[in-house]
Amino acid sequence: MLDRTCPKKLVTLSTCSRRSPYFLKSRIPILSVLNDLLRSSVYDAGMSGGAKWEPFVLNDIEYVEVRAELETLGLECVEPPGGVRSRSDWQIWDMEINHGVPADEHRRLNDLCEETERKLNIANNNGHDDQVAHLHIKYIELSNKLAAFVEKYLHRH
């Protein structure tokens, strides 16, 4: 039986599955990956929109019930390789399975983007305007490189 906060979680996940075509496309993430998303309180799906919610995590019992609910939406539960633990790991693995995007290069480019974004946020929060402009341009360049790499494989399918 779900506790009284779980119906809100089910609504959030149902909404997220409809507004997040890249994350909850056909497979239900494992608990650690799903909690990585839920803890963040936002999923930006680019031009597809996204969703926002109050941050939360699921426990094991809630996950089983939420998984069952997501299965009624046509998603399947698949155990990914052992190295898949975060939202980024999941998306990289999923893109390799669905579109043949080579995971190693995808991960390398994705990691560069995430590290640059982290540095940009730190510089911005610390008022280092001289670094912010440089890091912003670097982030855009890396993001474009990542997008171009992935796009090559998306048009094959």
List, for residues 70-116, the tens digit of each pLDDT value.
Answer: 888 888 888 888 888 888 898 899 899 989 999 999 999 999 999 99
Would you say 154 and 96 are in contact if contact means Cβ atoms under 8 Å apart?
no
E strands along 61-152, which residues? 76-77
Of the pLDDT bands very low, low, confident and very high (cuts 50, 70, 90), residue 14 is low
Would the pLDDT of 2 be above 80?
A: no
Q: What is the CA radius of gyration of the chain?
A: 17
Q: Where in the chain are the domains?
A: 6-81, 103-154
Percent of the chain with pLDDT over 70: 76
**pLDDT above 70: residue 42:** no
Please tell me the least confidently modeled range out of 49-58, 71-80, 121-130.
Answer: 49-58
**Residue 20 DSSP SS3:** coil
pLDDT in tens, 140-155: 999 999 999 999 998 7
**Contact by Cβ (8 Å): 55, 37:** no
